[in-house]
Amino acid sequence: MLTAEQMSDRLEIQDLFTRYCFAIDDRDWQALDDLFTPDAKIDYTATGGSAGSVSEMKQWLDGALGPCAMSQHMVALPNLTFSGDTATSRMILFNPMMMEDGEGKQSTFFCGVWYHDKLVRTADGWRIAERSQKLAYMHATENAKGVRTV
């Protein structure tokens, strides 16, 4: 049976992951500062993206998601393992992104990813210290070309 603290930790981390999804889809790059540790390492190269610090990735995200008229980052099934004030997680990302080709045609790009995270408990709550991806699949409808997922 989970203790109250274990339940709280799990809920706080799930909330952290939810806030990440909304920050990305709302293009609220500043919100990422409250989700990652200041020295976090982020690696989106498995899906053709970039790797770097939070600051570097905020700049990259701004350009990489520019072609997308809409995105929905949906995470599920976090498999959490705790060790004191640290945790690891593996979870599913389903990420449809809508594209417009400039001629009024819309297309959709679908990506399935496994997020692999290392988390730490800080004075301000749980934060992501490391995030990487493993690609499961990509599928693009007719004119969705050159998109990367995060």
Domain CATH code at residue 124: 3.10.450.50
With respect to residue 147, please indicate whether it lies within any of the assigned structural domains: no
With respect to residue 106, please indicate whether it lies within any of the assigned structural domains: yes
Task: Report pLDDT digits (tens) over 52-100.
Answer: 999 999 999 999 988 888 999 999 999 999 999 999 999 999 999 998 8
With respect to residue 71, please indicate whether it lies within any of the assigned structural domains: yes
Question: Per residue, what are the HEC states of 35-55?
Answer: CEEEEEEEECHHHCCCEECHH
**Domain span at 80:** 4-140
With respect to residue 150, please indicate whether it lies within any of the assigned structural domains: no
With respect to residue 148, please indicate whether it lies within any of the assigned structural domains: no
With respect to residue 60, please indicate whether it lies within any of the assigned structural domains: yes
Q: From CA 49, how far away is CA 57, in angstroms rounded? A: 10
Question: What residue type is assigned to position 30 of the chain?
Answer: Q
With respect to residue 149, please indicate whether it lies within any of the assigned structural domains: no
State residue 61's pLDDT score. 94
Question: Per residue, what are the HEC states of the chain?
Answer: CCCHHHHHHHHHHHHHHHHHHHHHHCCCHHHHHHCEEEEEEEECHHHCCCEECHHHHHHHHHHHCCCEEEECCEEEEEEEEEECCEEEEEEEEEEEEEEECCCCCEEEEEEEEEEEEEEEEECCEEEEEEEEEEEEEEEECCCCCCCCCC
With respect to residue 67, please indicate whether it lies within any of the assigned structural domains: yes
- Our count of domains for the chain comes to 1
Confidence (pTM)? 0.91
State residue 144's pLDDT score. 57
pLDDT of 133 > 60? The answer is yes
